[in-house]
């Protein structure tokens, strides 16, 4: 069963977090859902990511994994990205074990790239210009995550209290509360309205 890889699915703000967010409701096991349980969705995600992440990667075609070993690697790096940054957001910092796992997986992905591949990010302002290049989805997600290790960027990563997605808060004063105000923010408002009418205490539920 396919579904729409629309703008909301890319509320993470950067490719690395978008990839981590292909599992929803991670912190509520009975509601958690892996969008890649249907492996066909990997190709559709890669195509949508090339569209929604033009400002990050410019004109690019993300190559989805083909062989099962490649699928396993991208799922592994997705989980490594999630563990690394979710722990950091929760106050655990960059844990050595999580960082080591992430770097080991990333080195394998990078090593599999063509030796003539240019892995540099496009220059700001010219991201959507120039010729389209091809880059594996896993490598691009790993490199996207590497940029988030910078302290100024790391402190802008948050967890949505509604769907548990990781997202990059680009607001000037870091006041963004939801991954997507039009979806999770509105759901929270509806829940508060419902609780008020039921006479229940008002607090946000994840």
* CATH number of the domain that residue 97 is part of: 1.10.3300.10
Task: Report the number of distinct structural domains present in the chain.
Answer: 1
Q: Which two tokens stand for residue 94?
A: 């960059």
d(CA 175, CA 169): 8
Give residue 42's pLDDT.
95
Q: Which two tokens stand for residue 57?
A: 């990667």
Q: What is the mean pLDDT of each run of 10 residues along the chain (206 residues)?
A: 86 97 93 93 96 92 93 97 97 96 96 89 64 91 97 96 94 88 70 56 50
CA atoms within 13 A on the CB side of 17: 29
Q: Please, which residues have CB within 8 angstroms of residue 201's CB and are 6 or more apart in sequence? A: 195
Give residue 194's pLDDT.
46
Please indicate, yes or no, if residue 17 is contained in any of the structural domains.
yes
Please indicate, yes or no, if residue 48 is contained in any of the structural domains.
yes
Give residue 190's pLDDT.
56
How far does Cα 17 stand from its chain's mean position?
2
Please indicate, yes or no, if residue 203 is contained in any of the structural domains.
no
DSSP label of 16: H
Name the phi and psi angles at 134, rounded to 5. -110, 135
Q: Which two tokens stand for residue 121?
A: 């990010």
Please indicate, yes or no, if residue 88 is contained in any of the structural domains.
yes
Please indicate, yes or no, if residue 206 is contained in any of the structural domains.
no
Please indicate, yes or no, if residue 2 is contained in any of the structural domains.
no
Query: Domain range holding 18?
Result: 7-198
DSSP label of 179: S
d(CA 120, CA 2): 33
Please indicate, yes or no, if residue 172 is contained in any of the structural domains.
yes
Helix (H, G, I), strand (E, B) or coil at 74: helix
**DSSP letter for each residue of 93-161:** -S-HHHHHHHHHHHHHHHHTS-TT---PPPPTT-TT-S--EEEEHHHHHHHHHHHTTSHHHHTTEEE-T
Give residue 206's pLDDT.
39
Please indicate, yes or no, if residue 134 is contained in any of the structural domains.
yes
Name the phi and psi angles at 66, rounded to 5. -110, -55
Give residue 174's pLDDT.
87
Instruction: Evaluate if pTM is beyond 0.85.
Output: yes
Q: Which two tokens stand for residue 141?
A: 């997600």
């Amino acid at each position: 069963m396919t579904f729409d890889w629309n703008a909301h699915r890319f509320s993470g703000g950067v490719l690395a977090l978008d990839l981590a967010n292909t599992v929803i409701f991670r912190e509520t096991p009975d509601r958690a859902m892996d969008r890649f349980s249907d492996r066909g969705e990997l190709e559709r995600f890669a195509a949508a990511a090339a569209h929604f992440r033009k400002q990050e990667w410019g004109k690019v075609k993300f190559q989805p994994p083909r062989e099962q070993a490649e699928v396993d690697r991208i799922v592994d790096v997705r989980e490594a990205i999630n563990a690394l940054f979710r722990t950091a957001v929760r106050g655990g910092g960059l844990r050595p074990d999580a960082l080591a796992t992430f770097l080991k997986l990333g080195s394998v992905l990078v090593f599999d790239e063509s030796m003539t591949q240019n892995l540099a990010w496009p220059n700001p302002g010219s991201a959507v210009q120039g010729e389209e290049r091809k880059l594996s989805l896993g490598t691009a997600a790993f490199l996207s995550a590497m940029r988030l290790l910078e302290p100024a960027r790391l402190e802008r990563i948050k967890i949505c209290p509604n769907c548990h997605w990781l997202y990059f808060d680009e607001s000037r004063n870091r006041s963004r509360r939801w991954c997507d105000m039009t979806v999770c923010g509105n759901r929270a408002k509806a829940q508060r309205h419902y609780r008020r009418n039921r006479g229940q205490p008002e607090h946000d539920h994840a």
